[in-house]
Amino acid sequence: MLQVQNIEKVYGSKNNVTRALDRVSFEVADGEFLVIMGASGSGKTTLLNCISTIDTVSAGKILMDGVNVADLSEAALAKFRRERLGFVFQDFNLLDTLTVEENIGLALSLNHVDPKTVQTRVREIAGKLGITDILAKFPYQISGGQKQRTACARALVAGQSLLLADEPTGALDSRAAKNLLELLSLLNRDMGATILMVTHDAYSASYAGRVLFLKDGRVFNELLRGGRGRSVFYHEILDVLAALGGDVSDVL
């Protein structure tokens, strides 16, 4: 579904350059749950911004179903984002003025879905995500975990094929984080959602089917879960982090 080929991202001008991404390549297959892991400042958000077409790459290509996103016009990019991508970010990014129901419905409304069916579709997905009883509330009236569920609902309700998540558990306590991660793997397993999540947290990463390690803007290692259980995989991730050198404590 998604191919990232040798992308580079450079910030700043001549004498003050930050190479946030350095020849990063990987692929995401349909229905996969991929986690990209790295310490703070390793370029995760930058990578996600490039994939979500909010930002542009300095070099390399991002192909979505074989189409280079760099070739798309501004309007086509907007269309691409609203039809194909769903976002779940650390800081929730819900509109304060809209109720939970409207925040979810917004994704449909942006896609010009028949207004009559919006409410039913929102209720349907809200039922699956267990947020039916908070639909009438405003974002500041609900908990962080509920906000992330709302964001997930919005990311999937319009049938978007790729869910992008940037440290979605960052602002949640461990229980809410666990709930959200379980929800994500459920969505991946039962609804066939393709998920690309970035995180610095090994526990979150252990829910993935595959983990890529990013350090100083470069892909460093790859770990496949295969048939292993989650806790085994978790410890393997920790081992890799230890091998990466010293920043396990940072990472946790």
Partner 1 sequence: MTYCKLALRNARRQARDYLVYFVTMVLAAALLYSFNALAVSDEVQTLAARSANLSLMIALASLAVVCVFGWLAAYSTRFMLSRRGREFGLYLLSGLTNRQVARLFFLENVTVGAAALVLGAAFGGLLWQMLRAVVLAMFAQPYRFALEFSLPALGLTGLYFSLIYLLALGRNRKRIRKMKIYDLLCFDRQNEGTVLRTGKLRRLVFVLSLVLGVAGTCLLLRMDLYVALAGALCAILALFGFFLSFASGVPAFFDRRPARKYRGQNLLIFRGLTAKLASMGMLMAVLSVVFTATLISEGSSSVLYGIMKGRTAESACFDLYIGIEGERLDPGPYLSYIGENIPVERERLYPVCLTGKTQLQDYLEGAYYNNGYGSDPVLRWSDYAALRALAGYPAVEPPGPGQCLIHCMPYLAGPLGTYQEAILVGDSALSPGGLYTEHLSQSYGTANGRGYILVVPDEAAVGLPVHHLAYAAKTARPVTTEQVEALAGLASAERARQEDLSGYAFVLSKAYEEAEVAAQALMVCFPLYYLALALMSTAVTILTIRQLSEMERFRRQFALLHELGMDRREMARALGGQFALYYALPAVPAVLIAVSFIGHLAMMPEPGVMVGINSPAAIVITSLGVFFLIYAIYILLAYTSLKRNVLPK
Ligand X SMILES: Nc1ncnc2c1ncn2[C@@H]1O[C@H](COP(=O)(O)OP(=O)(O)O)[C@@H](O)[C@H]1O
Find the binding residues for partner 1 in span 9-28 (CB under 8 A).
none
CB of 38 to Mg ion, least distance (A): 9
Q: Binding mask 29-68 vs Mg ion (x if CB under 5 A, - otherwise)?
A: ----------------x-----------------------
93 binds Mg ion (CB under 5 A): no
Selected binder of ligand X within 3, 5, 8, 41 (CB under 6 A): 41
Q: Which residues contact 14 (CB under 8 A, 6 or more apart)?
A: none
Rounded Cα–Cα distance for residues 78 and 216 (Å):
30
- State which of residues 10, 23, 102, 144 lies at the interface with partner 1 (CB under 8 A): 102
Q: How far is the CB of 102 from ligand X (least distance, A)?
A: 29
Residue nearest to Mg ion (CB): 45
Pinpoint the alpha helices (H) of the chain. 44-51, 74-84, 100-110, 115-129, 144-157, 174-190, 202-205, 230-245, 248-251
* Secondary structure of 111-165 in HEC code, one letter for each residue: CCCCHHHHHHHHHHHHHHHCCHHHCCCCHHHCCHHHHHHHHHHHHHHCCCCEEEE
Does residue number 45 form part of the binding site for partner 1 (CB under 8 A)? Answer: no
36 binds, among Mg ion, ligand X, partner 1, none (CB under 5 to 8 A by kind): none
Q: Is 168 in the site for ligand X (CB under 6 A)?
A: no
